[in-house]
């Protein structure tokens, strides 16, 4: 069983792959990795499903650090549950996790069904509510408490996000909705706030 895993071509160039002699390998054993340059170059993952990694061609160069992201995670509806609470409260600053009664599981699953029905470019929703809930869910799953940070997690500038939510979603682009689906439903997650602050486009 491989002790280390690296998703092919994620955060590593083809030239770097050739140098490490792992161009054709998705899975890298501890021994092969040590021969290629030492176990400091890729961190071990907790499970193969998480596929999270941290790669640095030169560990002493802080500017060579690639984003650390967990991919392929299991569905997590806790963020959507929080987003529905925020919606009921009226705003993030009015929501109190200690006193607010969460929605019934059936209500959460109903909204999830509406979201997952929009799982292709030609099925994207026109109602901004579902996008707003996913942005808030992404923020909640990262331990954040503002929608603006939720937009940053998706790689969208908060001002652009607010403009999207101010009308129907005829201008919504698939990459934004796809990111909202993945981060809002817990399938993708950053390991540290440094990875999403200042990266919005």
Average pLDDT, rounded, for the chain: 74
pLDDT at 14 over 60: no
CA nearest to 122, candidates 85, 163, 195, 172: 172
Asked if pLDDT for residue 21 goes beyond 80, the answer is no
Q: Is the pLDDT of residue 112 over 90?
A: yes
Residue corresponding to tokens 């099925």 = 123
CB atoms < 10 A from the CB of 170, how many? Answer: 7
pTM comes to 0.65
**pLDDT confidence band for 185 (50 / 70 / 90):** very high
pLDDT attached to residue 159 = 94
**Which of 110, 109, 123 lies closest to 178 in space, CA to CA?**
123
- Residue ranges per structural domain of the chain: 4-66, 78-195
> Alpha helix (H) ranges present in the chain?
14-20, 30-36, 78-89, 105-116, 128-141, 147-154, 158-165, 174-184
Whether the per-residue pLDDT at 178 is higher than 70: the answer is yes
Q: Which has more pLDDT, 176 or 194?
A: 176
- What pLDDT does 7 receive? 37
pLDDT of residue 69: 64
- 53 and 62 Cβ atoms separated by less than 8 Å: no
């Amino acid at each position: 069983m491989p002790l280390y895993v690296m998703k092919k071509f994620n955060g590593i160039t083809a030239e770097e792959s050739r140098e490490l002699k792992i161009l054709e390998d998705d899975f890298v054993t501890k021994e092969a990795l040590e021969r290629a340059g030492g176990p400091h170059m890729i961190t071990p993952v907790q499970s193969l499903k998480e596929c999270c990694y941290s790669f640095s061609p030169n560990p002493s160069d802080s500017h060579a650090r690639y984003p650390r992201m967990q991919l392929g995670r299991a569905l997590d509806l806790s963020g959507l549950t929080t987003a529905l609470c925020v919606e009921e409260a009226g705003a993030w600053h009015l929501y109190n996790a200690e006193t607010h009664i969460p929605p019934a599981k059936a209500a959460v699953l109903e909204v999830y069904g509406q979201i997952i029905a929009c799982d292709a470019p030609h099925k994207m929703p026109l109602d901004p509510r579902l996008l707003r809930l996913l942005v808030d869910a992404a923020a909640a799953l990262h331990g954040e408490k503002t929608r603006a940070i939720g937009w940053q997690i998706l790689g969208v500038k908060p001002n652009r996000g607010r403009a999207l939510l101010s009308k129907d979603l005829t201008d919504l682009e698939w990459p934004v909705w796809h990111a909202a689906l993945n981060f809002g439903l817990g399938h993708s997650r950053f390991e540290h706030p440094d990875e999403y602050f200042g990266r919005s486009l």
